[in-house]
Amino acid sequence: MHLRSAVVISLIATFWSALALGCSCSNSTPIQRTSDRYRERAVFTARVIQLMGRTNSWNGTRYSRQALAVVHERYWGIPWFWPKVVLLDGGFFCNIAMADGEEYLVSGRPQRYGVVDVSVCSRTQPLKTAQLDLRTIDGSNCAVPGGTIIGHLLEWSEAQRKSLPAPNASVTFHDEKGNAYAAQSDDHAIYELQHLPPGSYAIESRLGQNQYASSNAVSVVAGLCSEMPVHLKDYGLSGRLPPGIGHYVTMKLVGSDRQSTEIPSDSIEPDGMFYFGNVPDGEYLLLLTTWQKVQGDFYYPGTFDRQKAARLKVSNHVLGHSLDFNPDLLPLVPIPVALDPPSDSGRFTWRVQLLNSNYIISEESWTAGEQFVRPYGVRGASYQIGLYGYSNRPTQYGDCRSELTPVTAKSELGVMRIEVPAGCR
């Protein structure tokens, strides 16, 4: 999955009700026996029978980072000679707090006799919220050929001010070549796309005149399941930018009279579509800004001159047409970059770095099977492109860096192929 697309789980995990303390983290790989991430772990179900150490209360339930639990279903990783009662240790960094009396699906690292470390985004969670991981746990749903995207479909409820399960709803993902793959959620609001070719996938976000599907881009790896929740939301105003530009720009509406409050967009999706929700009636200008150095604010339909910006009249909280930017007028352009050779040994986690005067402007992660990644640069500016490989086994071998290749950001650049150093293949 792209670094820019990383999903951040908040300090109080909203997807599962366990209280996580200490840091934010992300783990989009469901528990599966065929994954290297879980092969050396202990996976089982257990009920908390006694909290240990300091406790906290939330919504009337007591939590603690350490708890004694009775083991029920053993999947793998617990030695036969271990006791039936184990100590679950939520740790002190990226930790998890467990609820008194709760039944858990546990994924953890066996420590000293009878102790299991469940910290650091382990996906340990209450059994009642673990339907997705129970579906993937033996790895059969994730088997080759190809890989699997799986996740919950959730629909925002304005009345209840929260997302609710959306059973029997449809979504479509596109690969880098534009091929479409459709899925429908089941009665548990879980959708599943199996045997997809490895590579990067983005959701087709626009569902209709007033609803869109919001999701990060997701990378498919052969033989693995990757989780990607999808949220269905309403909108009143939308438009289009080039795919993948969302983490380089922001979109907002500003009053044409210079008096109204600025309204930021609700979302810029991986497919380039941007959305505004419940926009008050009035006349606005649409403004694009970026943290990179350009002339100034850029207005729809394609100008740095505020006086030439289009006046947009919102009535009944909607605008009846899409606001699509011409890519040839935008101040930023994509610089497609691929690894050469394209195959990956799995020894490194690769980043494509865009540099200016030896200063890293941006980093895009590359996953095995992807055709290319697309950092964005300022039109006409000069950069250097390089690969940086972070070692997946630092004690065995170090990181890896390629030579830098000069490039000028301009329209219709072909895919640049950056050579992977021979010693890192």
pLDDT in tens, 138-154: 999 999 999 999 999 99
> How far is CA 403 from each of CA 177, 209, 398, 399, rounded to the nearest angstrom?
29, 48, 16, 14
Arithmetic mean of pLDDT, 387-394: 89
> In the predicted model, is pLDDT for residue 63 greater than 90?
yes
Buried b (16+ CB within 10 A) or exposed e, 361-380: bbbbbbbbbbebbbbbbbbe
The answer to whether 417 and 340 have CB atoms below 8 angstroms apart is yes
Q: Alpha-carbon distance 366 to 359, whole Å?
A: 20
Region of 357 on the Ramachandran plot (φ > 0 left; ψ -120 to 50 alpha; else beta): left
**Predicted local distance difference test score (pLDDT) of residue 24:** 60
Between CA 236 and CA 242, with CA 241 as vertex, the angle to 5 degrees is 150
Arithmetic mean of pLDDT, 251-262: 87
Q: Alpha-carbon distance 171 to 271, whole Å?
A: 14
Taking only the tens place, the pLDDT of each residue in 234-248 is 999 999 999 999 999
What would the CATH number be for the domain defined by 3-133? Answer: 2.40.50.120
Arithmetic mean of pLDDT, 2-7: 34
Query: Which residues, 6 or more positions from 420, have their beta carbon under 8 angstroms from its beta carbon?
Result: 339, 340, 341, 387, 389, 400, 402
> In the predicted model, is pLDDT for residue 22 greater than 50?
no
> In the predicted model, is pLDDT for residue 172 greater than 70?
yes
**Predicted local distance difference test score (pLDDT) of residue 423:** 86
- Concatenated DSSP letters for 255-278? ETTS-SPPEE-SEE-TTSEEEE-S
Arithmetic mean of pLDDT, 7-34: 57
Quote the percentage of the chain above a pLDDT of 90: 78
The answer to whether 125 and 48 have CB atoms below 8 angstroms apart is no
Arithmetic mean of pLDDT, 151-171: 94
Based on DSSP, count helices (H) and strands (E) in the chain, helices before strands: 2, 36
The pTM for the full model equals 0.87
The CATH number of domain 332-424, selected from 2.60.40.2100, 2.60.40.10, 1.10.287.1120, 3.90.1150.10:
2.60.40.2100
> In the predicted model, is pLDDT for residue 18 greater than 50?
no
Predicted confidence band at 209 (pLDDT cuts at 50, 70, 90)?
A: confident
The answer to whether 197 and 220 have CB atoms below 8 angstroms apart is yes
Instruction: Tell the residue number behind the tokens 């925002």, with chain if given.
Output: 156
Taking only the tens place, the pLDDT of each residue in 71-117 is 999 999 999 999 999 999 998 777 899 999 999 999 999 999 999 99
Q: Where are the alpha helices (DSSP H) in 61-116?
A: none
Give, for 147, the enclosing helix (H) or strand (E): strand 147-157
> In the predicted model, is pLDDT for residue 265 greater than 80?
yes
Domain ranges of the chain: 3-133, 143-234, 239-329, 332-424
**Superfamily holding 143-234:** Immunoglobulins (2.60.40.10)
**Predicted local distance difference test score (pLDDT) of residue 4:** 35
Fold equal for 3-133 and 332-424: no
- The beta-strand segments (E) located in 22-142 are 42-58, 61-76, 85-89, 95-99, 103-110, 115-117, 125-126
